[in-house]
Amino acid sequence: ENIILENENFNIFEFEKKIGKEHILPSLSVYVLNFYELFDEIVPYNKFENFVYEIAKGYHRENPYHTDLHAADMLQSIFTYNLYSKFQVILNLSDIDLLSIFISAIIHDYGHPGLNNNYLIRTKDNLSIKYNDISVLENYHVSEAFNIILKKQDNNILSNLSDDDYKLCRKNIIECVLGTDMTLHNQKYQTFKIRLQTENIKKGEGLEQFLLKQDPINLYNLKLEFLSFIIHAADISNPTKPLPIYREWAQRCVEEFFKQGDLEKKLGLPISFNCDRNTVSLPKSQLGFMDAIVSPLFTVFNEYFPQLSFTLDNLKKNHKYYKEIVEKEKNLKK
Ligand code: AMP
Ligand code: MG
Ligand code: ZN
């Protein structure tokens, strides 16, 4: 049993085959928390096991994309970012901060129905009514996960924390998971991009000085901004993975979009962007996703943490791969 988690080329699909679907999120989570010595003083091990198995079970495994495997992938991505960039040290994160971002990754798509916010809002789904159309799914993921944590003592992974630490941890988690709403992407991207110029941050230089000159309240808010940025980056990190892994994720993601499209068609609703299996091309949609979203964000991300350049290297290769397919398809049509 020797699959190394501490590696940018880690293959989560092979790991899943070895260890079994139902164990992947729990085993990865235990590995990561154990690595940072978060057991037992901070998080009681037995309670964590109960909690994480219950969370894993609550992901809908019939979804093509939004399953506990995606949550495990996000956790592994963040773990790798920290190993390579040492963002924990640079941002001076406490154990509670680190724990918060790991728990956020574990729960961040909990109970995802395989349909997006727009769909839930347009069909007046109960969830959209409950959350007033505001980050409907993201609110749902956090809220349901906290119900699991608090519903019985045996699940309460936060029971060792003081009231203040609990408050902090909960605030961090809420911020991180609500921050995965894609409608916030542009704002995040702009803030971090503009800061590169105003603070003269380049290839990692300047970040530490920038953090040093903050007063404590500013510093706390900044840390939260960074945590939320990192988790968002991990959420859209498919195109930054080695090609075989990216291809598998892309396949699954697009299939989930198409399933929503099928449902919209059946209900006589207009088919959402990228959801029509009769017209959308996977390679084209992936190029669009990389060009509009992933490349800009990871380019900025790398200016803060240049040790993550493997993400940009993969991105470049993957872009070339799909670009060639699109060109070939074009030539065939001529
Ligand atoms: P989440 O749905 O919480 O996982 O948020 C990430 C969002 O990023 C997804 O809903 C998609 O809109 C987008 N996304 C992530 N990976 C891909 C991909 N491979 N292709 C297209 N869109 C993606
Ligand atoms: Mg989500
Ligand atoms: Zn996600």
Residue 222 beta carbon below 6 angstroms from any ligand 1 atom: no
Burial of 248 from C-beta contacts in 10 A (0-12 / 13-18 / 19+): middle
Q: Distance between CA 257 and CA 259 in Å, rounded?
A: 5
Mutation choice for ligand 1 from 118, 182, 231, CB with most ligand atoms inside 8 A: 182
Closest approach atom of ligand 1 to CA 137: 3
Q: What pTM did the predictor assign?
A: 0.98
Q: Of the candidates 176, 291, 186, which has an alpha carbon nearest to the alpha carbon of residue 234?
A: 176
Residue 121 beta carbon below 6 angstroms from any ligand 1 atom: no
Q: Tokens in use for 138?
A: 């993201």
Q: Out of 60, 66, 70, 185, which one is annotated catalytic?
A: 66
Q: What is the DSSP letter of 272?
A: P
Q: What are the CA-CA distances from residue 172 to residues 96, 207, 217 (Å)? A: 9, 22, 14
Nearest CA to ligand 1 atom 18: 250
Residue 256 beta carbon below 6 angstroms from any ligand 1 atom: no
Q: How far is the CA of 78 from the centre of ligand 2 (A)?
A: 16
The amino acid at 301? F
Nearest CA to ligand 1 atom 22: 289
Cβ atoms of 98 and 42 closer than 8 Å: no
What was the pLDDT predicted at 218? 95
What was the pLDDT predicted at 292? 98
What was the pLDDT predicted at 334? 80
Residue 275 beta carbon below 6 angstroms from any ligand 1 atom: no
Instruction: Give φ, ψ of 202 to 5 degrees.
Output: -155, 130
What was the pLDDT predicted at 7? 86
Q: Distance between CA 62 and CA 43 in Å, rounded?
A: 31
Nearest CA to ligand 1 atom 14: 236
User: Helix, strand or coil for residue 301?
Assistant: helix
Residue 85 beta carbon below 6 angstroms from any ligand 1 atom: no
Tell me, yes or no, if 23 is annotated catalytic. no
Residue 109 beta carbon below 6 angstroms from any ligand 1 atom: yes
Q: What are the CA-CA distances from residue 97 to residues 140, 159, 306 (Å)? A: 22, 16, 22
Q: How far is the CA of 64 from the centre of ligand 3 (A)?
A: 13
What was the pLDDT predicted at 3? 62
pLDDT averaged per 10 residues, the chain (length 334): 76 95 97 97 98 98 98 98 98 98 99 98 98 98 98 98 98 98 98 98 97 96 98 98 98 98 98 97 98 98 98 98 96 86
Closest approach atom of ligand 1 to CA 108: 3
Q: How far is the CA of 236 from the centre of ligand 1 (A)?
A: 6
